[in-house]
Amino acid sequence: MNKRKTGETPICCGVFREVEHSPGREADDAAILNATGRRLEEREGFVVDYRPPAEVNGRERVLPGLAFAMCEGRTALEGLGRWESQGVCVVNSARAVANTHRERMIPLFLRGRVPMPDSLLLDFADPLPSGTNAEGIFSACWIKQATEHKTREGDVVFATDPSSVRDALERLQDRGLSRAVAQRHVDGDLVKFYGVTAATAPDEETSIPAWFRWFYPREHPVAGHAFAAGALRDIACRATAALGLEVWGGDAIVNRAGQIFVIDVNAWPSFALFREEAADHIAANLAARVRRLARVTA
């Protein structure tokens, strides 16, 4: 690993994920960030700095040209947004990470025609919706907090009628939350997917990732419903393009008929099963961004 020289300005900065956003996965999350940074240093000769999210505020005297960030907390994302406003290229962008919050993700998926289970955004200040669609969802659904991903027990709860929906909402409200999502339960196999989108020029558009993998998580039983892997790839690309992500992972359900429904997307997962392979592709993406920045500023 290259040694940073005194006074040498880092070209890239890696920002770790907050501990509270990485329950039980702190080591895995740190490992993929460090593996990516090592490749940038050893293969590209870049100077790489690392920071905890608490040290990202946008008011630093010296900023890197590019940041690769796993942080998800509001304070850190606001700091990254200030970095971006000052010309720092951030992967994933602060906006893209915020787009993975369910209250923003659902309308973006609808606009991008991403297949997902029927979902309702519930505001605790309003009465519980009624009608055929709501009743159909509430008969078997998952109640999820509307913003951050699952970090503790109670963030995602199964409900089978309006009464249990209300109970789940009350528990979330007791924690100071104001909104939740009710998402229809879909029977089928849980499939996880990972991807790194190809770095492209600003005037180019693509939904084809440079790298894509999918797998069945070991902790979930699998019926083995047949599906088209190419369709999963296309749907995952459509979903992540709608959110603006470059480094991503997610969950989908494949039902008996082979239909695919996206139920969650995350910005920069730990890639634990494919860490070394993923780090190669993430670093290549970042290096291409750095070289492009160098050409623009030359």
Distance CA 90, CA 68 (A): 6
HEC sequence for 229-245: HHHHHHHHHHHHHHHCC
Q: Quick one: average pLDDT of 108-123?
A: 96
Number of Cβ within 10 Å of residue 59's Cβ equals 10
Q: Contact at 8 Å (CB) between 145 and 201?
A: no
Tell me, what's the pLDDT at 295?
A: 66
Q: ∠ at Cα 43 (41, 48), nearest 5°? A: 15
> Would you say residue 3 has pLDDT above 60?
no
Domains of the chain from N-terminus onward: 12-92+275-297 (3.40.50.11950), 118-184 (3.30.1490), 189-267 (3.30.470.20)
Tell me, what's the pLDDT at 60?
A: 83
Q: Contact at 8 Å (CB) between 39 and 283?
A: yes
**Confidence (pTM):** 0.90
Residue 175: pLDDT band with limits 50, 70, 90: confident
